[in-house]
A and B are shown apart, each in its own frame.
Chain A
Amino acid sequence: DIVMTQSPDSLAVSLGERATINCKSSQSVLYNSNNKNFLAWYQQKPGQPPKLLIYWASTRESGVPDRFSGSGSGTDFTLTISSLQAEDVAVYYCQQYYSISYTFGQGTKLEIK
């Protein structure tokens, strides 16, 4: 199985500041035939199911604010929130869907400083 490792485990950022969450896969999730990275990001608020934010490593889901962006390729990926809002407090997960089983990172808890 592909192991997904996120860093940091928790993060406190001031309102309006940038938040950066990293995700590293134990093997490449880049599919060479279509040059797509099989990597998604989800946001989970307390008591709620996960919500899809980003897929193909950098494509924002419809309705997701443009302060959320994804980048990276191969084995190293980043989720960036350009200007943190109070409603962004949540746990964020990366997931690879390159190969079954579809493994998740351990999660990064984002709080307000």
Chain B
Amino acid sequence: EVQLVESGGGLVQPGGSLRLSCAASGFPFSSSNMNWVRQAPGKGLEWVSYISSSSSSIYYADSVKGRFTISRDNAKNSLYLQMNSLRDEDTAVYYCAREAGSGSYSSYWGQGTLVTVSS
């Protein structure tokens, strides 16, 4: 069974940092492209970042570029999102999502972890 379990969310002050993790199981993680997608409270979905299976290609939304860093450890079946210089508008549930092998749509999503940026 495919499982994606996010962790690391919490309350952080503006300007602070947080590192999210996503533990993957039940599928060949090392050959899967991955994404982070977020959802502010009561709002829609916003794509945040992409990393290819080998980490050779990485992309970010303009809203987080220069502040967030995506990475992965294929030996540990884990995906990460380092978030620095956090702002109020970064408050959201952050989902990790696995891309399908045949295309860049997200076939599996984790349950999400809530990040709250507030003083």
Contacts and interface: CB of A to CB of B under 8 A. Distances in A.
| Binding site secondary structure of chain A | loop
Contacts, number: 58
A83 B62 CA distance: 40
Q: Identify whether the interface residues of B are mostly helix, strand, loop, or mixed.
A: strand
A45 to B, nearest CB: 12
| Category for how many chain A residues contact B | 20 to 34
A49 B110 contact: yes
A77 interface: no
Contact of B105 (A48, A97, A100, A106): A97
Given A50-B45, A102-B50, A104-B45, A97 B104 contact: yes
13 contacts: A42-B45, A42-B106, A44-B45, A49-B95, A49-B109, A49-B111, A50-B45, A61-B107, A93-B44, A97-B105, A101-B62, A104-B47, A105-B44
Interface of B: 35, 37, 44-47, 50, 59, 61-62, 95, 100, 103-112
